[in-house]
Structure 1
Amino acid sequence: MKNLRIAGVSLLALSLLSACVMTQPGTAQQGPGKVKNLILMIGDGMGPQQVGLLEEYARRAPHSRYQGSATAISTFASAGITGFSLHGPYDALVVDSACSATQLATGLPSRSEMIGLDAEGNPAKTLLERAKAMGKSTGLVSDTRMTHATPAAFIAHQAHRSMENEIAEQMVMSNQADVLMSGGVGYFLPADAAQRHDPILQRIRNAGISTKSKRDDNKHLLQEAENLGYQFAFNRDELISNSPNKLIGLFASSAMQDGITYHGRDANINEPSLRDMTVKALEILSRDPNGFFLMIEGGQIDWAGHNNDAGMMLHEMLKFDEAIQAVYDWVRYRNDTLVVITADHETGGFGFSYSRKDVAPPSTLPGSAFEDKAFYPNFNFGDLSVLDKLYAQKKNFYGIWREAHGSNDFPTVESLMQAVNANTEFPINEADAKRVLEREANEYQIDGHKTLSGDAFPKVYDFKEFYVYGDDVHQNLIGRVQGKYQNIVWSTGTHTHTPVPVIAWGPMRAASQFRGINTHVELGSRMAALLEGTTK
């Protein structure tokens, strides 16, 4: 990304601009530089490639939803400061979400899969905790689950991201953010919740959410939260119609619905969108005269990348962009709020690419250079119709795989072809289906490992070492075989070190500190200093 509008501004011009107190809609704010409110938006798994997918669709898909309008992320980029950030852990090349979010949250180096800890394993003060200490309101919003790695890193301190029961307890009993909204209600319920019938559990059941607990103890964290003054929302109607000062909104037993389901959903499905949650969080937190800190995560971009599911990834980017638009609508006339949009890492090694399959035949062009010759590119550079076809996907790969195996333990070639071809615009043939279902001996078997313990493993023909999630890799293979029809390549089922975009919008003196190539540790440290007013 280029640094737009302000790239060549001199230091003198910047100082003059920062003295101006007028705020124009759609431009970086030229206020006095103080940050009352900090909004951090994290697209989990959102590298430059994922932003590129959104922009290609928005600007060039024949039937784009945007119809000539700009995406919210490009609006912020055009009006603010853009740059990149490196996100590697303290002692390794490639980061996971827990470590990356921890580095953003604390401004300190951390190690793989830690939550809110420095590189030595000590609890480190987070942006949320700093904001609370200043008397500001705080909030966390995610479309995954509340105890997942990214939101957890801003409010908890645990040795490993898998300690979600402990994370849930710490969220309620220790740091107590004013607004918590996501999925994952099961981590807040006592082990015997299915046999209980208290009012909170009945409300959850009435919202159509399972009360099956994820805990192994009888701690009823929502009852504890109610005693601490929290009110609850368990569906969209409850969220929209109520606006308490302290809110826990939990809208699914575990993960919230994916972008494909959301964009194609029946109007009777009463789960709020990421945008709905963002709007409500801003409404509640902005009442505080001291200001607020809010982290908003578009978390399932990452899940789509892990599955090599380009259709889902497009819908997740669209869902995240809706939330970004809600933030833009709220901040556009303000001069006291810093917005930082970034990612924890890139997932999947995604990209459009040209190929030797389906090279187009010669065609004619009206230009003078082609009066006596045909237009005949050497390769297939990808038709723009691919963008609309990706949007038309009806289920993500999780849903397609479930449909393919039905009540059986494993899909057949025929059932897989039927499920894929009924739900995507890129039909696979018998040879493709056989490749998706193929298995081989697991040469990297580790006894007792969460995903690598099996004797057999899905057969991946290249970069096999980078597909690690056990039998779920069959879903990656759907994306891999469809790639030749989509002009899409994937290099991994995990994360890459690719520098991620950074977009900063707000008072110029604050936003300008995020230009160039930085690290997540530096971003976290600068956000903390700006929030606390200690930056020079």
Structure 2
Amino acid sequence: MHKKMMLAFVISSLFLSGCNDDNDKDENIRTEAKTEQPTTENIGTVKNVILMIGDGMGPQQVGLLEEYARRAPNSIYNSTGNKTALSKIADAGDIGLSLTAPFGSNGSLVVDSACSATQLATGIAAGSEMIGLDNDGNIVQTILEKAKSLGKATGLISDVRITHATPAAFASHQAHRSFEDKIAVELIESGNVDVLLSGGARVFLPADIKENAATQQLMSDLGASSSIYKKSKRKDSRNLILEAKEDYGFSLAFDNAQLQKVTGDKVLGLFANSLMSDGIAYHACKEANTCTQPSLREMTITALDILSKDEDGFFLMIEGGQIDWAGHINDAGWMLHELVKFDEAVEAVYEWVKDRDDTLVVVTADHETGGFGFSYSRKDLPEEKILDGDGMAGNAYKPLYNFGPLDNLDRIYKQSATFYDMMTAVNADWDFSNTTGQQWADVVNQYSDYKVTVDQAAAIAEREVNEYQVDGHPYLGASEFPKIVDFKEFYVYGDDLHADLIGRAIAAQQNIVWGTGTHTASPVAVYAFGPKNITKTFSTMQHHVDLGQKMMAAIK
């Protein structure tokens, strides 16, 4: 998953042409899975299933959130007993671990979000970067589609794009995650999804939106601000927003005020042209009471209100997608804000479900991003102290290394802009070929509580020949890359890597290490809340395929 993700270079033109033909031919048969679903021992069933995915939220990220909530001197959790919603779910339910890698004969060691979400959605082994397909490329039924076949209401929520890999995998079937224009069509035309709340308007609007005065006027008449329809990523003239309203009965919402007024049981809420506001911007507007977009929590509450009206029950997937984006650029400040934002949505779900016995809630991650962790170092060694304990025997307390002061937690949270925003402040056109250490130092020192010298910031500006250049590749096609000193093979996203270099420049002060600009194979936490005979089966070491099968078996 990535802000600028494009079609993977590794898919051959023959495979793509064949899959594009299938996309055209098979639109009317996708309600049936080509691969039979596996059976799971009957462990009990529920009326509703809520799946929450913190994208990129490995155990290390959960540790950051918990340490901040419990021990930061100025934690925003101080007024609520320093307890996260994740820990409330853990206390009341069961906890397990899950492996995430692509499973099956075409498997590999590290997963992307499309494959991981597909395995969670279907309980079947999937291949890298495919959406809603099994390991052999066959269309398979998802838990959302199963819920709809049972007469239940369904919903998808994300704070990135509704056509992005994670939400797409629950209601679409495509050869590659980058086919977002086709995914948008499926989401609207399939009839399988009742509530769609996210960003990503750019693939719902016609290609000529900038020149199409009539469509711009229509969007304005519908109450969408110009930021929602500033550009399109479609290649045709279809206006899927209008089609959703006129042909498929969706109510529309483009800001929080509109979302709170929607009526009916089908809602399409598109609150940004691409991804929604980042966590830092969200917490700033929340404090100032100036937010216009709904938060992840507010979208969750609205979706629960709508979907729970269905007497047959519902399936709802909620993604905190920007945890992953922050991890990709090694931005701990942004990542912490995203974790808090996701935890707000978990709190909303917990409050809704805590006194019920008809709902299964599963909170997990698709994978870990960034190889993040706190670490002790040889920088800024602590001064010795005299302790009163009777075991000190006159010895001074002086640890040999810097194990990380707790005020780092507050200082990380104090960051006032993402590294992407800092890049834009350095050059609005994102041309970093001749930037200087002074420019980078000025921006970092403006927005971060951790200050850098011009000499330290000079490394952020450095560039080098891309020794892994591959002609035609969406990222590796560049002849020049930002200069990564170590593990450069695992930093793959072109000029975005200047952001990772900001992370490197301040990491020693934060007591933070990063291992990669992509994903790791770390097992992720699984929180399960609901009937005990069901949730206890999640309290084990398992694989995401197992998680998918257990959720499939539970919803009846």
TM-score, normalising length: structure 1? 0.91
CA–CA separation in structure 1 for the residues paired with 2:176 and 2:213 = 30
CA–CA separation in structure 2 for the residues paired with 1:371 and 1:394 = 46
CA deviations on 1:394-413 (whole Å, 9 max, x unpaired) are 00000011112246833321
2:454 matched to 1:430?
Answer: yes
Once the 2 structures are TM-superposed, how far is the Cα of residue 457 of structure 1 from its aligned partner?
1.2
Equivalent residues of 1:201, 1:211 under 8 A apart: no
Q: Which residue of 2 aligns with 1:293?
A: 315
CA–CA separation in structure 2 for the residues paired with 1:408 and 1:229 = 41
Equivalent residue of 1:440, what SS? strand
Q: Which residue of 2 aligns with 1:397?
A: 419
Q: Which residue of 2 aligns with 1:255?
A: 275
> 1:123-162 alignment to 2 at 5 Å?
123-162=139-178
Equivalent residue of 1:502, what SS? strand
CA–CA separation in structure 1 for the residues paired with 2:119 and 2:164 = 16
Aligned residues, how many? 501
% of aligned pairs identical?
55
1:212 aligned to which of 223, 231, 246: 231
Coordinate RMSD, CA, aligned? 1.4
CA–CA separation in structure 2 for the residues paired with 1:260 and 1:86 = 30
CA–CA separation in structure 1 for the residues paired with 2:438 and 2:427 = 10
Equivalent residues of 1:204, 1:210 under 8 A apart: no
Q: Which residue of 1 aligns with 2:509?
A: 485
2:219 matched to 1:201?
Answer: yes
Q: Which stretches in structure 1 are left out of the alignment for 5+ residues?
A: 1-31
CA deviations on 1:313-335 (whole Å, 9 max, x unpaired) are 00000000000000001001100
CA deviations on 1:68-103 (whole Å, 9 max, x unpaired) are 331000000111110000011131000000000000
CA–CA separation in structure 1 for the residues paired with 2:113 and 2:385 = 48
CA–CA separation in structure 1 for the residues paired with 2:140 and 2:225 = 39
Equivalent residue of 1:161, what SS? coil
Equivalent residues of 2:93, 2:527 under 8 A apart: yes
CA–CA separation in structure 2 for the residues paired with 1:409 and 1:478 = 16
Once the 2 structures are TM-superposed, how far is the Cα of residue 196 of structure 1 from its aligned partner?
3.5
Q: Which residue of 1 aligns with 2:467?
A: 443
Deviates more, 1:188-197 or 1:274-283: 188-197
2:189 aligned to which of 130, 154, 173: 173
Q: Which residue of 1 aligns with 2:303?
A: 281
CA–CA separation in structure 2 for the residues paired with 1:414 and 1:394 = 20
Amino acid at match of 1:474: H
CA deviations on 1:300-352 (whole Å, 9 max, x unpaired) are 00001000000000000000000000000100110000000000000000000
Equivalent residues of 1:458, 1:474 under 8 A apart: yes
> 1:233-248 alignment to 2 at 5 Å?
233-248=253-268
> 1:70-469 alignment to 2 at 5 Å?
70-90=83-103, 91-194=107-210, 195-198=212-215, 200-202=218-220, 203-206=222-225, 208-226=227-245, 227-265=247-285, 266-370=288-392, 372-406=394-428, 409-410=431-432, 411-469=435-493
> 1:32-51 alignment to 2 at 5 Å?
33-51=44-62
CA–CA separation in structure 2 for the residues paired with 1:358 and 1:482 = 13
Once the 2 structures are TM-superposed, how far is the Cα of residue 211 of structure 1 from its aligned partner?
4.0
Equivalent residue of 2:280, what SS? helix
Amino acid at match of 2:239: H
Equivalent residue of 2:214, what SS? coil
Equivalent residue of 2:547, what SS? helix
Equivalent residues of 1:42, 1:343 under 8 A apart: yes
CA–CA separation in structure 1 for the residues paired with 2:533 and 2:355 = 17
Q: Which residue of 1 aligns with 2:33?
A: none
Q: Which residue of 2 aligns with 1:474?
A: 498
CA–CA separation in structure 1 for the residues paired with 2:430 and 2:327 = 27
Q: Which stretches in structure 2 are left out of the alignment for 5+ residues?
A: 1-42
Deviates more, 1:196-205 or 1:109-118: 196-205
Amino acid at match of 1:233: A
Amino acid at match of 2:305: E
Deviates more, 1:278-287 or 1:195-204: 195-204
Equivalent residues of 1:207, 1:234 under 8 A apart: no
Equivalent residue of 1:448, what SS? coil
Q: Which residue of 1 aligns with 2:3?
A: none
Equivalent residue of 1:197, what SS? helix
Residues 515/204 of structure 1: CA separation in 2 closer, same or farther (3 Å cut): same
Amino acid at match of 2:550: R
CA–CA separation in structure 1 for the residues paired with 2:59 and 2:258 = 36
